[in-house]
């Protein structure tokens, strides 16, 4: 009799709590990380209602227009995925790959290109997997996309670039770190710059929920389950805080003190965990997440260019 009661309680918990949570959290996961139609996460501005964001995007487009004579559409293949981007060849033998975060296509990355061009780097901007003109439907938050970056790096090396630097923003920073710490990362991938790198996506997601006055339990944990089983990403116990312990190449970390998603105090935790002898963490007083440069263009570009001079 007791056994039947226990089974009934378990069944009730599953039907009344677990299954509804998984169903509702799947909707959140689907919205955040699945491209269910071709025009989702295209190359246009992702937040047209945000004046600051629109300003960044328009400034980036001006940069792209100014240097369009140097631009060539490029593609690489990684397994079944055809990946698209644009390569600005300024005649150098070194290049940067700018890796944007979730929802952004390659046009967004124009905004971060100028300090590299001014430092004598060729510039590659890319559509991440499941974004822009690249194949794919599911974002894996860098856990699979880093292999795409390895293919892009090979393409640049084949074009005569002896050195490739990665510049990642938000999830792009995590992707860059996964690439640089991969066992098969080639020597010609020499350094990286991170803008607003989080310790892991789980922490960043919780901060998003807190900002929106949403309770983390149980919905956040349901989303993490779907990320694990569908995106193939363990964003709870794995992430930059774990991978950075294998980072031995030069790294510049850019962090805003006003970032509410990638918390400024946790940037110091990442920095301390990094064993590289060539590392630097620079704080900026103003700027929301991924908004450092727009609040201090001169300081941002100068910091990047000074770092590049040390390589």
**Residue pair 65/92 in contact by the 8 Å Cβ criterion:** no
Peptide bond into 58 cis (omega under 30): no
Determine whether 237 is exposed, middle or buried from the number of CB atoms within 10 Å of its CB (0-12, 13-18, 19+). exposed
pTM over 0.85: yes
Please tell me the predicted confidence (pLDDT) of residue 20: 76
In whole angstroms, give the CA distance from residue 210 to residue 261. Answer: 10
Structure tokens at 98: 């700018």
Write down the pLDDT at residue 112: 98
| CB count in 10 Å sphere of residue 292 | 28
- pLDDT tens digits, one per residue of 77-92: 999 999 999 999 999 9
In this predicted structure, what is the pLDDT of residue 122? 98
SS3 215: coil
DSSP 245: G
Q: What is the pLDDT of residues 259-308, one digit of tens each?
A: 999 999 999 999 999 999 999 999 999 999 999 999 999 999 999 999 99
CB 137 within 8 A of CB 130: yes
pLDDT at 11: 46
Cα 112 to its chain centre, rounded Å, is: 14
Strands 279-284 and 71-78 come out as unpaired
In the chain the domains, ranked by start, together with CATH numbers, are 34-199+239-309 (3.40.50.1820)
Query: What is the model's pLDDT at position 214?
Result: 75
- Give rounded-to-5 percent helix, strand, coil for the chain: 45, 20, 35
Q: Can you give the pLDDT at residue 222?
A: 87
Q: How many CB atoms lie within 10 A of CB 281?
A: 17
User: And the tokens for 95?
Assistant: 């290049």
| CA dist., res. 116 & res. 311, Å (int) | 13
Per-residue tokens: 185: 């990362």
| pLDDT at res. 12 | 47
* CB atoms inside a 10 Å sphere around CB 65: 10
pLDDT digits (tens, 9 = 90+) for 29-47: 999 999 999 899 999 999 9
What number of other Cβ atoms are within 10 A of residue 302's Cβ? 12
pLDDT of residue 237: 93
What distances in angstroms separate CA 87 from CA 179, 238, 311, one per listed residue? Answer: 20, 32, 22
Confirm if 83 and 149 have CB atoms less than 8 A apart: no
Low-confidence ranges of the chain (pLDDT < 50): 8-16
């Amino acid at each position: 009799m007791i056994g039947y009661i226990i089974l009934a309680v378990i069944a009730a918990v599953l039907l009344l709590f677990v299954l509804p949570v998984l169903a509702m959290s799947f909707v959140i996961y689907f919205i955040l990380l699945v491209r269910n139609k071709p025009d989702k996460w295209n190359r246009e501005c992702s937040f047209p209602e945000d004046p600051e964001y629109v300003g960044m995007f328009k400034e980036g487009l001006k940069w792209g227009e100014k240097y369009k004579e140097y631009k060539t559409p490029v593609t690489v293949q990684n397994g079944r995925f055809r990946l698209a981007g644009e390569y600005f060849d300024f005649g150098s033998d070194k290049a940067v790959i700018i890796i944007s975060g979730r929802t952004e296509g390659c046009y967004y990355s124009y905004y971060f290109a100028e300090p590299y061009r001014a430092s004598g780097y060729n510039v590659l901007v890319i559509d991440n997997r499941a974004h822009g003109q690249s194949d794919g439907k599911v974002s894996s938050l860098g856990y699979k996309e880093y292999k795409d970056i390895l293919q892009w790096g090979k393409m640049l090396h084949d074009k005569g670039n002896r050195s490739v630097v990665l510049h990642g923003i938000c999830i792009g920073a995590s992707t860059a770190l996964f690439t640089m710490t991969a066992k098969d990362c080639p020597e010609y991938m020499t350094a990286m710059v991170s803008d607003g790198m989080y310790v892991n996506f789980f922490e960043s997601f919780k901060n998003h929920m807190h900002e929106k006055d949403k309770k983390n339990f149980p919905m956040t944990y349901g989303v993490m389950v779907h990320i694990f089983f569908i995106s193939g990403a363990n964003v709870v116990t794995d992430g930059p805080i774990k991978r950075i312990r294998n980072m031995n190449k030069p790294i510049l970390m850019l962090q805003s003190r006003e970032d509410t998603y990638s918390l400024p105090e946790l940037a110091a935790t990442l920095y301390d965990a990094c064993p590289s002898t060539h590392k630097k963490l620079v704080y900026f007083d103003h700027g929301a997440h991924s908004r450092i440069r727009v609040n201090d263009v001169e300081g941002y570009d100068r910091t990047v260019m000074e770092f590049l001079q040390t390589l």
